[in-house]
Amino acid sequence: MESFKDRKIRWGIIGLGKIAHKFATDLLTVDDAQLYAVASRAQEKADEFANQYQAEKAYSSYNDLASDSQVDAVYIATPHVYHKENTLLCLRNGMAVLCEKPFAMNSEEVHEMIDCAKANNVLLMEALWTYFLPHYSYVLDLIKNETYGKILKLEADFGFRQEFDETNRVIKKDLGGGSLLDIGIYPIFAALSTLGNPNEIEAEATFFENEVDSSCTMTFTYKNGVIAYLKSTLLEETPTEAFFHFENGTIKINSRFHEPSTVTIISNGKEETIDFGYTTIGYNYEVIHFNNLLRQGKIQSDIMTYSFSKKLMKTLDKVRQIIGLVY
């Protein structure tokens, strides 16, 4: 492949569903990125998508996109159960991969994907976009610097209502449906990125009739009595906020905490809300980070590291084991 030193990074997208549209919208705002190719299982859908976002190539098979040597980086936007297969296909063809969350279905799959990236010396990153959003980095810095003292408690939720419908990707068991893997990953991410690995995990879930979880409540206990109360649900609309309680104040990431949002700080009897002036949906930040890694010849992110993705999936595996969620 020719070097991309003096040109834009040529992106490809595999799986042209809801998130692919949002990602493509933001990709077009990134100066050194070009949406070069898209792949769907249907030619008409690929043509339409390519037309909408000015992609040069529209493929009717994921294999065809993965065989196009002009592609530098691929965004995998298929349902969870296909993440491993689609990622391996691209990595083996030397293409850098940004794969949607959850990275895969279990730890074994995540290990295989990371081993493949290492063996092929290609960049691989889980698209946990929240990690790259300025408001989230801001909160991480306040926590790291102990600006409001030591953290005592975290509360984070993510919920919206979905009527039971087995054809819906979010619920369909064959596609890895359920609240935990789809949205529970965000409150868990909030805990792991601020508090690290818990000493103990307790979890309870409710289930839809097809045996995927409709809601999941989790309690992570840390040393010194620090606790994280986490929740995901497909049964009701919940605020989808994150509260970090400290010795000398509270930081609240307002609704919805995982996407571009504002941060409210309550301390010394005063309340201040910080607006980060977002102008995009928020996917451009992970793309900019990824492009920089690619240009530097890195094969893993220093933020969303392999070890963090492994930790995240290991935690999801553990919660699944506790609530008895089997795919």
- Confirm if 200 and 123 have CB atoms less than 8 A apart: no
Judged by beta carbon, residue 16 or residue 88, the one nearer ligand NAP is 16
Q: At its nearest, how many Å lie between ligand NAP and the CB of residue 171?
A: 11
Q: At what angle do helices 107-120 and 83-92 cross, to 10 degrees?
A: 10
Candidate list 24, 27, 40, 243; residue touching ligand NAP; CB under 6 A: 40
Site residues for ligand NAP, 102-141, by CB under 6 A, read 127, 129
Binding of ligand NAP by 100 (CB under 6 A): yes
The answer to whether residue 188 forms part of the interface with ligand NAP (CB under 6 A) is: no
Nearer to ligand NAP, 79 or 134 (CB): 79
Q: Which two tokens stand for residue 108?
A: 């074994």
Q: Which of 61, 79, 118, 137 binds ligand NAP (CB under 6 A)?
A: 79
Q: Which of 16, 27, 37, 113 binds ligand NAP (CB under 6 A)?
A: 16
Is 148 or 158 the residue whose CB approaches ligand NAP more closely?
Answer: 158
Instruction: Please tell me whether residue 167 binds ligand NAP under the rule CB under 6 A.
Output: no
Q: Which one of 27, 77, 89, 96 is in contact with ligand NAP (CB under 6 A)?
A: 77
Task: Count residues near ligand NAP (CB under 6 A).
Answer: 22
Q: What's the min distance (Å) between Cβ of 80 and ligand NAP?
A: 4
Among 10, 11, 19, 238, binds ligand NAP (CB under 6 A): 19
State the angle between helix axes of 284-295 and 18-27 in degrees (0 to 180), rounded to the nearest 10. 60
Q: Tell me how far, at minimum, the Cβ of 86 lies from ligand NAP, in Å.
A: 8
Q: Is 101 in the site for ligand NAP (CB under 6 A)?
A: yes
Min dist CB 233 to ligand NAP, Å, is 16
- Residue 48 makes contact with ligand NAP by CB under 6 A: no
Question: Which of 41-49, 118-126, 205-213, 234-242 is the region at the interface with ligand NAP (rule: CB under 6 A)?
Answer: 41-49
Q: Which of 82, 131, 189, 308 binds ligand NAP (CB under 6 A)?
A: 82
Nearest CA to 156 out of 94, 68, 244 is that of: 244
Q: What is the 3-state secondary structure (H, E, C) of the chain?
A: CCCCCCCCEEEEEECCCHHHHHHHHHHCCCCCEEEEEEECCCHHHHHHHHHHCCCCEEECCHHHHHCCCCCCEEEECCCHHHHHHHHHHHHHCCCEEEECCCCCCCHHHHHHHHHHHHHHCCCEEECCHHHHCHHHHHHHHHHHCCCCCCEEEEEEEEECCCCCCCCCCCCCHHHCCCHHHHHHHHHHHHHHHHHCCCCEEEEEEEECCCCCEEEEEEEEECHHHCEEEEEEECCCCCCCCEEEEECCEEEEECCCCCCCCCEEEEECCEEEEECCCCCCCCCHHHHHHHHHHHHCCCCCCCCCCHHHHHHHHHHHHHHHHHHCCCC
Of the two residues 10 and 80, which places its CB atom closer to ligand NAP in the complex? 80
Query: Where in 253-312 is the site for ligand NAP (CB under 6 A)?
Result: none
Q: Which residues bind ligand NAP (CB under 6 A)?
A: 15-20, 40-42, 45, 77-80, 82, 100-101, 127, 129, 169, 175, 182
